[in-house]
Amino acid sequence: MPLRRAEGRDVTDMVELAEQRRLHYQRYQPTFWRKAEDSREQHIPFLESLLKREDVIILGACEN
């Protein structure tokens, strides 16, 4: 599967994957992984800031 560098248009999908993982983890460890109500809203600017950094590389799998 080919990889490419993540771009701004990928943030929505990245956040959705993280939300799904949070909910999954919460089922097994509800105290440690209790999902914040605004986790999605907090995660978006964080990921956007990472994409702008020169010292960070975020890769994603892409379909052909």
pLDDT digits (tens, 9 = 90+) for 20-63: 999 999 999 988 888 899 999 999 999 999 999 999 999 988 87
How many CB atoms within 10 Å of residue 27?
8
pLDDT class of 15 with cuts at 50, 70, 90: very high
Q: Which pLDDT value is given to residue 14? A: 96
Q: What is the pTM of this model?
A: 0.82
How many CB atoms within 10 Å of residue 39?
15
CA–CA distance, 33 with 9 (Å, rounded to integer): 27
Q: For the chain, how are helix, strand and coil distributed in percent, rounded to 5?
A: 55, 10, 35
